[in-house]
A = this chain, B = another copy of it.
Amino acid sequence: MTSLLTQYQDNDVVDNFALITSAEVRLTKTGKNYISLTFSDRSGDLPGNLWDASQEQINEFIQGKIVKLQGVRGAFKSQPQVQITSLRLTQAGEPNNPADFMAHAPVKTADLDAQLNDYLLMISQPTWNRLVRRLFKQYHDQFLQFPAAKKNHHAFNGGLAFHSLSIAQLAKSVSQQYPQLNADLLLAGALLHDLGKVIELSGPIATEYTLAGDLIGHITLIDEQIVLAANELHFDLNSEEMILLRHVVLAHHGLLEYGSPVRPMVMEAQVLNQLDNLDASMQMMTGAIEKTAPGSFSTRIFGLDNRRFYKTESES
């Protein structure tokens, strides 16, 4: 019976369908070609090398192809890998949809969509409501499918919407505990803050930064979209409500050195930044702890200052 790729233990026999998510032709020290491959399914990745690769294999086994993979699970420098014993492209009648081999948000796309819409409806301030509504409509599909990052936190299909939804949920409970907050502004910021990533990143598969992503960045890109949308909706860019919304979004990284051009100077901007950090921490810690044995420490988490986290004995 077949396991998922990341569930195998050392010396297990691997016999799976998998998606090739990276394929690089390299040279051994002694000058022979091999292909360094990453195989993926919805549980994650497993790397493996195809030694003495022929030119035909180099042409066949490229990023985006679905393959039938056979081999044995081992480890090289403490990282799991598969020793390939057989590799071929899939044939008619075998799995052929790349999307089936990608990690997904733990919520279905339709549910993400519905829940985000519910939060949108809670924004009673009309300018903010119309602006968020317009941008949600314009980027509907990308918003639901993109990851929230190339790596680190929420780097999976639907991660962007899942993360935004999480922040909206936190925003709601925090607004209830602290009524001095403007719940509408906080919620509008929560829903929009990372939407620029649909322009910054190339898409849900083999995610890369676009040129605009590298040279302009997602914070300025969402500000651009807010400005253009406000222009079309004939909103006054100099009104307090437009300045506040842009500020909350621009300042959400909290510190200039994290890429926000201004630091939070309204309460909702400060809170959005702290909720964003909280959800990112939760996601990174949860991802690392899931792969850790009880009573031991996780690998170091880059996004949390390279700290390791301890999984208690009692956690399953």
- The residues of A with any CB-CB pair to B shorter than 8 Å are 26-27, 29-31, 49, 51, 72, 74-77, 81, 83, 166, 169-170, 173-174, 177-178, 180, 182, 211-212, 214-217, 219-220, 223-224, 227-228, 231, 237-238, 240, 243-244, 246-247, 250, 256-267, 270-271, 274-275, 277-278, 281-282, 285-286, 289, 297, 304-305, 307-310, 312-315
- Once the chains bind, are A267 and B76 in contact (CB under 8 Å)? no
- Once the chains bind, are B262 and A216 in contact (CB under 8 Å)? yes
- Once the chains bind, are B265 and A215 in contact (CB under 8 Å)? yes
Across the interface, which residues of B come within 8 angstroms of A238, CB to CB? 212
- Once the chains bind, are A262 and B215 in contact (CB under 8 Å)? yes
Q: Shortest CB–CB separation between residue A91 and chain B, in angstroms?
A: 27
Partner of A271, one of B220, B281, B307: B281
- Once the chains bind, are A250 and B75 in contact (CB under 8 Å)? no
For this complex, 25 residue pairs linking A to B, each with C-beta atoms less than 8 Å apart, are A26-B76, A27-B76, A30-B51, A166-B177, A170-B174, A180-B286, A214-B262, A215-B243, A215-B262, A215-B266, A216-B261, A217-B261, A217-B262, A219-B261, A220-B250, A220-B262, A223-B223, A231-B231, A240-B313, A244-B312, A259-B262, A263-B307, A265-B310, A267-B282, A270-B304
Across the interface, which residues of B come within 8 angstroms of A26, CB to CB? 75-77
Across the interface, which residues of B come within 8 angstroms of A174, CB to CB? 170, 278
Q: How far is the CA of A33 from the CA of B110 in the complex (A)?
A: 48
Partner of A49, one of B29, B173, B250: B29
In the complex, the chain B residue whose C-beta lies closest to that of A185 is B312
In the complex, the chain B residue whose C-beta lies closest to that of A284 is B270
Partner of A231, one of B72, B170, B228, B237: B228
Partner of A265, one of B267, B281, B286, B309: B309
